[in-house]
Structure formats: C-alpha cells, structure tokens
A and B are shown apart, each in its own frame.
Chain A
Amino acid sequence: MSFSAYILKRIGGLLLVLLVTSFLVFGLLYLAPGSPLAFILGPRGGTPAQIAAVTQQYHLNDPFIVRYFAWLGDLFRGNLGDSIVYRQPVSDLLFSRAGTTTALVSLAAVIIAVVGILAGTFAALRGGWVDQVVSTLAAIGLSTPVFVVGVALISLFAVGLGWFPTFGVGSGGFDTIWHLFLPAVALSVASAAYLARITRTAVNEERTREHVQTATVRGLSPRLIVRRHVLRNALIPITTVLGLTIATLIAGAVVVENVFALDGLGSLLVKAILQRDFAVVQAVVLVLVVAFVVVNAIVDVLYTFIDPRISLGSKQ
C-alpha cells in the first residue's frame, strides 16, 4: 500500500470514528440529568421570561436529533459553537488550553520512554538485585493511583523541599518545563513502570533467540550484540506499548491537571461535563479522539521502519 493511500484510509477511518463518538457523547450528555440553565442563570434561578429567553437562544427544547445535526452542520462550516458557560467561541477556549496539555503529555512521554526503556533494559541485562529493585519499584509504581502520586509529589518536592512550584504553567520556555515537571512525573509513573516491565520481558526474550546465538558464535562483541540484535529487536513490542501509553496519557491528563490546577484540556473537560456545556465537551472529546488516532497512525508508520516484515496497512 502506498503512503498516500494509507494516509487516506486512516483519515477515512478517523472521520467515521469521530462521527460515532460525537453521536455517543452528545447522546449521553442529553440523557444525563441536569441542564445548563442552572449554570447560566446562577444559583437563584431566573424569571420565567429569562428561562424562556435562554432556552430559546440555545435551542434547549429542540429534540435531540435536531440539536445534534445543528451542531454537526456548524462543525462542517468550521464552527465548533459557543460555550454556554464561558460565553465565548469553543475554538478560542481550546486553543488557549491545548498548549498546556500538549506540553504536559509530551514531557510525560519523554519521561516514560527514557525511564521505562532504561530501567527495563538495565533490569534485564544486569539481573540479580538490580532486577529485583526495578521489578519491585515497577510494581509499586503500577499500583499507585495518579492522584496519590500527584499529592505525594506536591507535598514532598513543592511544599516540603520547595524545589518546584505547586501549581500553574509558568511563563513559557524553561519556566514552563519547571512548572510542568512534577505533573509530568505524576502522569508518567504508572506508564513508565509498565513500560519498564514490558522492556524487561522483551529484552529477556530477545536474548534467548536463535539469531543472538548466531551473533555470539560469530564472535561479535557483547555490546554490539546487545545493541544490534537484542535491543533493536526488542523495540518492536516496546514501540507498541509506548504508542498505546502515550495515547491514553491524553485522557490521564484530566486527573493530573486537576490535582496541579493546570488549565489544560483535561480540567476544561471536567468542568464542561459538570456544567452540561455540550459544545465544549464535544469539542474536547473530538480533539482527544483525533490525538489518539494520530498517535496510533504514527506508531503504525514507525513499525515499518523498525520491522521490515511489516508493510504499511498489512494485517500482520
């Protein structure tokens, strides 16, 4: 399959997935109890005239299908709609917050890849007590919830030692990395632990392969064997897991952003759901789905470079 045909196929698949998820999310929000009216009119409620006006303005009484297609029609015209609660275009809201989440997830992805692969490889190659320590730490990391890790990190490194700020995203550049470091660590602990275990297993498995025996009996240097024949081949399972992990990080960011009071997409999504801010919820979900599909597509393309037996779009 050619590269352009592959991309077209993936985009087609993406559009279908987006259509289905948007319908599901819209339907679920519609079915959930509560109405945006309470948030628009404030705690004391409004006069019947105000309620009627708002209901009229946002088409709250229209049937589900009509509202869904109205939203879909706007979307095709490039309009994500307006937030009922913030009273501004959803696209503006998304833009101002997407940067934070992107930076957070990217930083976490780097931490996961570096720590997970290094720790797993180290554990497999050294064995003995190194292996024991890494495996134990990985088990602890895997079983500790994100919010616990987040709170623990804040109380130790931000409040206790004062090395890091407790909240906010800083003022760009290095300051942002400094601000996002603790949240990224909190976000990556479980995934790094998981990746370390996968790497350890993959490396151990590759070491016993027959082709590694061939390399050994040819008298290649141990370092070359590890790099070219063990780690290189172990990359195949490692990439799979890393790709899936990064895709799910975007959803995991919801919790971390709330713990560290970051104004990213995750915290926006939670607020929007609580306030029945349909347009915002839809838009954020669409962004998450697109990100998930794009990350997976990138991993698929990477595969063809890592494993020559796999070609683009093959079922293998």
Chain B
Amino acid sequence: MTEPLLRLDNVKATLRRRRSEQVLLNGVSFEIGQGEALGLVGESGSGKSLTTRAVTRMLDPAFRVDGSITFDGASVLGMNASALRKYRQKDVGMIFQDPRAHVNPVHSVGDFLTEALVRDRGVDQREAERRAVALLDEVGVRNPEARLRQYPHELSGGLLQRVMIASVLLAEPRLILADEPTTALDVTAQSDVMAILDEQRKARGLSLLFITHDLELAAACCDRLAVMYAGEIVEQGAHVYDTPTHPYTVELLGARPDIDAKAERLPVLTYNREIHERLKAEAMA
C-alpha cells in the first residue's frame, strides 16, 4: 500500500496554562490519501478546527503538540522555519470560514490573489494576474478583470469566498483544508460555493480535509467521514453515514431533521462525557 499524503498518528494538543494543563486533542489519528476527501464532523468545541490548525502548525505557542503529523513522508512537527514556509506555500491550502475577516480589507482583490505568487515565487506580476483571472473565471466569478481592481468590501460574501478558494488553488497545493467554508454565507451562496470547491478539487485530483456541521453535505462530497467528540475521533470510515456503529454517531445522525417528513420535535442528544468515558473504559477492558 502506498504512503498516504497526510497521516496523523495519535496527535495530542495540550493547552498549557499557568497552573493547569488541558488536553484538547486526545490522540487523533487519521489518513488522507492522494485525491481523497475526508469529512470531519462533530459538535462545536470537539476539536475539528484545532485539528486543521495542528496540520498547518498554526496553533498558538501555548499548545504542546505530541504524536506525529506526516505529510508526504515528511514530519510536519519537525519542520524548521523555512521548511514550514515551503510546506505552507506549496503543499497545503487553507480555506477559512469567514472570508470577510480572513481577507485583508486594505488591499485589492488582485493584490490578495497575486501577492503569494509575486512575492514568494518570483512570478511576474502580469503573469500572476493572468493566472488569477483564469482561476476566477473557473470558480464562476463573472467579469474577473474588473474584480481584481475591486476591494474586499465591495464583494458579497459568496463572491469573496470564491476569491478565497481561487487564492488557494492559485498556489497549486496538494491538500486543501476547508474549515466550514460555507457556514458564514447565506443559503443560496452555500451550495454554489460548495459545488465549485468540490468540482475544482476533483478536477485537479487534490486531497481535502473538510470540516462541517452538515453531515449530509459531508457525506455527499467526501469519500470518508470522521466523527469527533471531545478531542477524539470516535468513528471513521466510508460506512459512517449509512451504517454508524458508535452510539454518539448514531445519535448525531438521528438528530438531523428529515426533509421528507414532518417532525414534531428533534431528538436531543443524550450522549455526554460520562457515557463517553465509560464506553472508553469498557473498550479498554
């Protein structure tokens, strides 16, 4: 079997405080192969975003990260500053939840798209702009030349998220990390943006780590799902959506409203930390 593109092995992230330590990622392990998409789902605070931050080494210095993160055979946690910059420039691309906050408001869209190419890769400004225009066109932005001259506040949220996606694709990474890329957008923009992301990823054969609350969406555009709870992955695989086995996953899937049936009241999750600890102890025994 070939080496997966990204492998997390028993990754722990511990937040060190003055007196106490708090384990926020507790032994996360998963693999993403070349061209494969993994959906990471789970409730707020379960450690999904923290996982993507660990993969890009963007965690606050107050965190201690143990375990191993391997990208294409290289240890991410062991990289020095220049290797880390190369890794961030060429290998991984990150799409954030809120494009409004994550794009610098004082620079034009064109500057945002081309700055990485021009400043760090030595691409000629005109060539970089040509590539940016071509990509904006591919992600469904009309009138791309004019968009380059505009500023982020002049664009809608959905349009700005497409710009963000284009900025990531411009760097031609091998793995895309998407942290709830559609959560901050209105409903009509959500499906468009997601469709574009999915289409571009497949066309380019990129790997994807997709974080979302939307189980159906994750199942639709990912090869496998991983379900997180309290900093741990409780269940993962291609079967999760259709035939869940872990009690938490079963409850989570049961709590979704059904579009075909009228439900009086959605079930409330009964799974909690106590049950979680007991199940873990039983599994160990």
Q: Which residues of A contact B (CB under 8 A)?
A: 209-211, 213-221, 224, 228-229, 232-233, 236, 306-309
Contacts and interface: CB of A to CB of B under 8 A. Distances in A.
Contact of B89 (A214, A219, A229, A308): A219
Interface in B250-272: none
Contacts of A219: 84-90, 116, 120
23 contacts: A209-B101, A210-B101, A211-B101, A211-B103, A214-B94, A214-B102, A214-B104, A215-B104, A216-B58, A216-B88, A217-B88, A217-B94, A218-B93, A218-B116, A219-B86, A219-B116, A224-B115, A228-B104, A228-B115, A232-B106, A307-B105, A308-B153, A309-B105
Interface string B89-109: 110111010100111111110
Given A220-B120, A224-B119, A308 B104 contact: no
Contacts of A233: 104-106
A220 B116 contact: yes
A228 B56 CA distance: 22
B151 interface: yes
A209 B98 CA distance: 12
A229 B115 CA distance: 11
B78 to A, nearest CB: 17
Nearest to B151: A308
B171 interface: yes
B102 A213 contact: yes
Interface of B: 56, 58, 84-90, 92-94, 96, 98, 101-108, 115-116, 119-120, 151, 153, 167, 171
A284 to B, nearest CB: 39
Contact of A308 (B93, B96, B98, B106): B106
A315 to B, nearest CB: 15
A213 B58 contact: yes
Contacts of B171: 218
Of the listed residues B86, B87, B89, the one surrounded by the most CB atoms of chain A closer than 10 A to its CB is B89
B153 A218 contact: no
Contacts of B115: 220, 224, 228
Contact of A221 (B93, B120, B151): B120
Contacts of B89: 218-219
A229 B104 CA distance: 7
Given A220-B119, A308-B153, A309-B153, A210 B106 contact: no
B112 to A, nearest CB: 9
A94 B167 CA distance: 58
Contact of B96 (A209, A214, A306): A214
A210 B120 CA distance: 21
B239 to A, nearest CB: 32
A211 B151 contact: no
A218 B171 CA distance: 8
Contacts of A228: 104, 107, 115
Contacts of A217: 56, 58, 88, 92, 94
Contacts of A218: 88-89, 93, 116, 167, 171
A218 B98 CA distance: 16
A209 B106 CA distance: 13
B102 A211 contact: yes
Nearest to A305: B106
A180 to B, nearest CB: 36
Contacts of A210: 96, 98, 101-102
Nearest to A307: B106
A13 to B, nearest CB: 27
The 8 closest A-B pairs by CB, nearest first: A219-B89, A219-B88, A210-B101, A211-B104, A308-B151, A219-B85, A217-B94, A214-B102
